[in-house]
Chains A and B, each alone.
Chain A
């Protein structure tokens, strides 16, 4: 497969996942805000802080009002991390690889984008919850269409890898941000938590029902255990990392010898297998997630180096 094409497919799914995650982020805040009237700006500020792009925000907006934050994260085309920007990048990538992905997948992504574009001209408060639901639904739809229309060839595995690497990164980030804002003090770790807030967090990654089946009551260590360490829940960090590893092994040629990317992913997997929720909490959730995210960045860099960088004939024929 052409390096450029593999690169585009990988980033196509990463950007779709990024847009979808951001929609989930915003959606959970909307839900929490509805349930917890009070200092509105304090609820919306962390969303912008989580992006690390406060500077860009203040270039165009004066305060963290819900409207400002919503607009910035959703429809601001001048912000390179907004939902609409991410999705238009995903679509441009898809356009350059239309001959590789299925027509059905392209059509869903195109529709997804056109839906966003239409919505960007008329968002009122009544529409919002439905709108973010629709973003999630399109994300699921695209995932499903890719699953059921694409041959499990290289293109598929690059798409799969992009999606799950991004998802691992974003699930860990949502926990990180919410953990800071929601946890009053470390001693609350095993007390039953405010149902409303944490159930909203779980809902944001479609984890609420699955969590309930597993654990019933909400405690921090169980939530960490479920969202980070669970090997079977499809949005948990562990699950996502395992999928990235699966894709990497499919993509790496058998005769490639030692692969840095594969050994890195193995290392992350074994960290997650060996960890316990209480261990993570005692050593600091933030510290754990931070180091995990650095690992993801390294993994991304080594994927880039192994598959997308240009190699000359002399090295290829050896």
Chain B
């Protein structure tokens, strides 16, 4: 095992010294052909003999207790095997990296739509029917006693992060902005609904599930069932999208495991779309007050970002709205805080880019107003406010390409920042306008292990429990190993998504690639050391290319060196002091052109350019795709996506894909992605940072700013549906 704790920046840039020339290249994904042919297996698609079907029964009350489950109301129905209602059932998904069981005990109901039982039957049709018809009595709490509205309760106050005197700075400022924004909740809405097939053999449990972080999930599942981790195996080779909704073990996993034990045969639970919407994590709605104080040139002297978000009582997670506000811009006088309202809507948790996804939207909209007041190009305003030193901590920034992203993005987009007067460009009924925003997302790494095996014949096998949720893990890990070991990535097999493999942190927080990628890198370094010693040389002098290893004048093929045996090493990466000693983040810039219909307020994004500094690019094609994905999400967050809750019982009303409006093909224009050349030695030994979340952090702000530039209406509520913009349009027409 080769271990590395990231206690100092890795300035060696070892990957750049390698000769295979595949790292960063826009290679096709190795898993592409099986995905486009429909043979890549997702959780519910394993053909496990004799599997029965389980469908959840959910609570139609907001809070209370299950009084009695009338099993006999369905047990006589054709095909019904059992009604399973076990106190170990989990009632919500675990929060990301929890590593322990989430809330258990379905007899206590905390939100409308909470799963309380599972009906198991011979067919899906029978299970679904019986689940809908199961008679259950409840002791429901009086709705009048239950808080549902985050604005109507006294929130848990956050002490916050304070420095100087923001109120004074605001009073003294030459220019200031004090605005309050609201954002509605979002759903991950991954295309594959959560699903599990659980099977017990000889006391050991195997679950094929759709999960992002197996190393944490196995602990959560084992804890829920009071099992040893050694007696549990989780498999998630293909995950049909996660976006945070599969970070923690979900209710289907635990219920399928318990039901399989109880009925003595494998049980498959594929949650319905409605159940996923109603019972798996929401992104909290937010109310955000932005206060920006600036001098005559627009340099920030004060910076305030205060948010109110919500969650169920007892949940630790609070949408970290101010995450990037801690370091993105300067301003000596600061106040950042996040208050939490405890309400009985479904559980709030991580949805793609928790925090910045909504926090950056509001911040960047406020920055646009400041630029207008100061009367300067909003790109220039941002450039002026990139701080030389961290606003509150005495630590340096790691590599930071924000200025490059703003400048290169502006050039690629054809940005014109001098005259920003709104309502200047019209095409028929449509106002046309442009907007800009900075992008920022914290950088994280987590402990990760990976095993790499060199095999006779000159091929390699990479194994880790890391998942590929669409991000391109299969591609990038093969490229890292290929680069380090001098192999065509086609000759590198990558095995993922199985807890029998060395463990890592999984996919989430954009840390998957830098963490697991570093573990693969370390395993390869160890293999290179062994190969170098076989050649009586030093690793530093070893060249590996096209299956051949060379030290000095000695050249041998890998196949020759292995002598018919495998050579295996495990890499072990751990975060270290750099985490605290550097402010590390990924940065970007967004430029949007929109059309707003003057009559109806319908808004269409016509162009979207994103420029990103994400450290080393591991695969240009998959990295670009991640950026396109985030930008597409931003279009949804800006214009269409909103979770709507009934004010009387807190239930989610738009719990399907017809009424929760994720963007469709026609909403998404051709998008331009620029990946700015960067290595961040403080970020990881492969100098890479995360990419999947950054690309939506700020982009909705750029769209909002473009809407203003187009039609003269500032939106303070997101998404900017026709209903939100209409009043302003009517006023503008009168004026």
Asked if A and B are interacting partners, one says no
**Which residues in A have some Cβ–Cβ distance to B below 8 Å?**
none
